[in-house]
Amino acid sequence: MTILLVALGAALGAPVRYLTDRAVQARHDSEFPWGTLTVNVAGSALLGFLVALPADGGVMSFAGTGLCGALSTYSTFGYETVRLVEDGARFYSVANVAASIAAGLGAAYCGMTVAAAVTG
């Protein structure tokens, strides 16, 4: 049952990730990977929220592992950062790393704070 929940969450997260990434990136005329940053921050916020609830095993399998795992993407973050370096956009590559780490951790903290406020 757990693997089915993970698969269903991933089946939802992957297209949401792709569509969000493309929609955000289409609005920016920049080399900076705004779409990937957006989905990674959203995934961090949602996972922080779920962990702080605490959500039960089924919810964590579906939303935490499946949805958030497919929504956020470390591999694309790594690839885009290396691509920026190779293209000579060193400032953007450093900004991508700094923004991704700071915003991801901040979003996870905010998600946890919201969950704490909701559960009171």
> Residue ranges of the alpha helices (H) in the chain?
2-26, 34-52, 57-59, 68-71, 74-86, 90-119
For residue 18, what are its two tokens? 């792709």
69 is in an annotated binding site: yes
**75 assigned ligand-binding residue:** no
- Residues annotated within the binding site are 69, 72
- Residues annotated within the binding site for Na(+) are 69, 72
